[in-house]
Chain A
Amino acid sequence: MPGGADFWITQFLNGLQFSMLLFLLSIGLTVIFGLLHFVNLAHGALYMLGAYVGVSAAAHLGGYWSALVLGPLAVMAIGIVLYLTLIKRMRRAGPMNQVLVTFGLIFVIVDIVRILWGDVALGLAEPASLSGPIQIFGVSYPAYRVFVTAVGLVVMIALSVVLNRTQIGAMIRAGVENDAMAACLGINVERLFFLVFCVGCALAGLAGVIAVPLFSATPGMGTDILIPTLIVVVIGGLGSLNGAILGSLIVGFIQTFGAVVTPGLASVLVYVLLAAVLITKPAGLLPARG
């Protein structure tokens, strides 16, 4: 077994950071799932678009911070176009057709990215203020990774305040619970769907931008992250914020610690966990509906 306490603290921080990235992706997917009953396999492709737009924004407009603003906005705009052209009319088409159409979208978006940006991996430098290591729990750890974790935590807290403490949050929860009844009570469910979809897309774009300095932008990044994200959503329970948090932590830590303790078996472990959850608790660990 390698390393001492420092090593395990570093791995813990890595696990937390990966969990937060998964959280940013899965929260959008899970609420879209729960509220719109829409299976959006193209969510990973939107994450990839965020990354590439971020790279270009940083190159042309100067620096990381412009990427952090423009990436999510651009992905949200693309999401709006997709919503109006395709997703709205696929809403009632059943999960199979949704899976197929969004699977087709993955192919299209990946090839558009390859045409516009090429096949090579593109990097994005972290901002100078976050480039060095910092001391945390007595170990030296890259400041940028702490920043990623912090972004995830801030989004998590903000979403949980919005969902649990505000009127719009109550409306979203009502929509997830029973959209027909929510509509009867005078909630404009369609507008709510649209809003949630936009926020979900923006968060995917945000995750894409903050992931680039860690992993670089590649045309395969969207498909690579899609499966862990779907696993998080299914393990946690569709439409549930707490489920997305729990699922992200479980998958993030299993992948990080599994890669250290049992290299090779780490990815199998995640799938075994998914199968076990689906068999014993098909609705997920913390389902949104009672």
Chain B
Amino acid sequence: MFEQTPVKTAAVAATIAALAAYAIFGGYFSREIVIEIAILAILAISLDFVAGFGGMISLCHGAIFGLGAYTFAVMTAMWDQPGALAALAAILVATAFGLAVGAVTSKTTGIFFIMATLAFGQMVYVATFESQWLGGDDGMSGVARFDLSPIGIELGDSLQFALFCLAVLGTAYALLAMVLRAGFGQTLIGVHTNEDRMRALGLSTWRHKAAAFAISSAVAGAGGVLAAQHTQFVSPELMVWTLSGEVLVIVILGGIGTLVGPVIGAAVLILLKHEISTYTDHWHMFIGVVLIATVLAGGRGIFGQIEHLIAGGGRGAGRDA
């Protein structure tokens, strides 16, 4: 069961508020960090939606994110389309790709599902890497940010863009929480808990999983739209499978199957990354140790552990899936 408990609401609101304060009172550098956190958090909650609640560990979410970014870049930088239309197209392309991948892979489970999503993600990555039309290895520059000047918002300014990204993150979180609380989400969790029983109840489980994957992809695509606007540049690096792996690390660290956890995980991991990178070059070793320690400690992650403690160390409220 997924419940948007008061603890969850408080945690997500506090995290977003703290990030907003950090952006407002910090300098240019802290604003860039907040933007990075917000975008990765959007990607991470989209992954948690399928991985934590549907049991689908996807290694192609980086590629879906990249598809959104590239579609947005092609529409604005190459075809001179307005930003709103480009964003819509990007989300549609990401959703369609997610639906296709979900439909094809949802009958496989466990390591086979992981490998299948890896295959589809890498196909997109390699195809983009080799495509001259999309700039190949060099990527594509000249992506414009949304023009919100008619309503008095100037996204060229890093503070306003940071706050805008946080607003999108909040919206994405609210949308996914709504879907999870609705019948669709409860059914998805049911499929994850006992797929045979759901099938026996008359549900076409693969279709339900494919639809969930498509919803998650729409959110990942929206994250890609922001990523393209952030650096105003897209490259195949957005799509490589290790990015999907790092986002999975964020989900695990924050608490898989909690939806709030990945937001906290993104903030903690990115802040630590910038802190540690000033002292040492070996930031990845730190990620590795944190990941191993998190899994060995029971795999609850930061927020899962908090919920576990609140629940009195009994049945963790967060481990619903």
Contacts and interface: CB of A to CB of B under 8 A. Distances in A.
Interface in A92-140: 93, 95-97, 99-101, 103-108, 110-112, 114-115
A278 B116 contact: yes
A100 B295 contact: yes
Contacts of A110: 284-285
A184 B111 CA distance: 27
Main secondary structure of the interface of A (DSSP, over half): helix
B130 A234 contact: no
B24 interface: no
A89 B298 CA distance: 12
A223 B248 CA distance: 17
Interface string A63-91: 00000000000000000000000100110
B292 A279 contact: no
A274 interface: yes
Given A101-B291, A106-B288, A265-B130, A271 B122 contact: yes
B245 interface: yes
A115 B295 CA distance: 25
A86 B116 CA distance: 26
Contacts of B295: 90, 93, 97, 100-101, 104
B284 A99 contact: no
B104 interface: yes
B155 to A, nearest CB: 35
A267 B236 CA distance: 15
Nearest to A33: B111
Contacts of A103: 245, 248-249, 288, 291
B134 interface: no
B111 A278 contact: no
Interface in A17-69: 33, 39
Contacts of A99: 57, 111, 114
A52 to B, nearest CB: 16
B120 interface: yes
B291 A107 contact: yes
B178 interface: no
B284 A111 contact: yes
Nearest to A267: B126
Interface string B266-299: 0000000000000001101101111110011001
A227 interface: yes
Interface in A237-290: 264-265, 267-268, 271-272, 274-275, 278-279, 282
B42 interface: no
A227 B292 contact: no
B299 to A, nearest CB: 6
Given A107-B288, A275-B119, 8 more contacts: A99-B57, A100-B295, A104-B289, A107-B284, A227-B122, A234-B112, A234-B115, A275-B116
11 contacts: A39-B111, A93-B295, A99-B111, A100-B248, A101-B296, A104-B287, A108-B288, A223-B242, A234-B112, A264-B130, A274-B119
